[in-house]
Amino acid sequence: MTHAHITSWLITILLFLIVVSLQRSGSSKAKIVQMVLRLFYIFTIITGVLLLHSIASISLLYVIKTIAGLWLIGAMEMVLISMKKGKSAKAAWTQWIIALALALFLGLSLPLGFDIF
């Protein structure tokens, strides 16, 4: 299940960057790709919940990692909505970077992740 979750969030991040690029260029395909991105939000959340369910005892770090992951998805939506409305997305991008760094660090350093850190 770990590999499914990692694949899911990698595709989610790639789709997010593609939607940002399409929105900046004014492409009409941005809305379609954004719908696919939202589908991958659901896949990422489901695989994350299944990973949490497979853990015998959930520590506080797993809870923080879950919150960071949900925050990351929220920040992605805030960036896209701000860009669509033509408003400044600096605060949303800042949140996205912080949430991504926190989720990646916790996800890869906890026992279910890979031993990178």
Tens digits of residue pLDDT in 57-114: 878 888 999 999 999 999 999 999 999 998 999 999 999 999 999 999 988 888 766 6
Examine residue 115 and state whether it is found in any structural domain, yes or no.
no
Examine residue 96 and state whether it is found in any structural domain, yes or no.
yes
Examine residue 23 and state whether it is found in any structural domain, yes or no.
yes
First CA to last CA across the chain, in angstroms? 21
Q: Which domain holds residue 70?
A: 2-109
Neighbouring residues of 34: CB distance < 8 A, sequence distance ≥ 6: 19, 80
Burial bucket for residue 73 (CB in 10 Å: 0-12, 13-18, 19+):
buried
Examine residue 47 and state whether it is found in any structural domain, yes or no.
yes
Examine residue 78 and state whether it is found in any structural domain, yes or no.
yes
Read off the tokens for 43.
Answer: 């896949």
pTM above 0.85, yes or no: yes
Number of domains in the chain: 1
Read off the tokens for 107.
Answer: 């996800």
Residue that the structure tokens 């923080």 belong to:
64
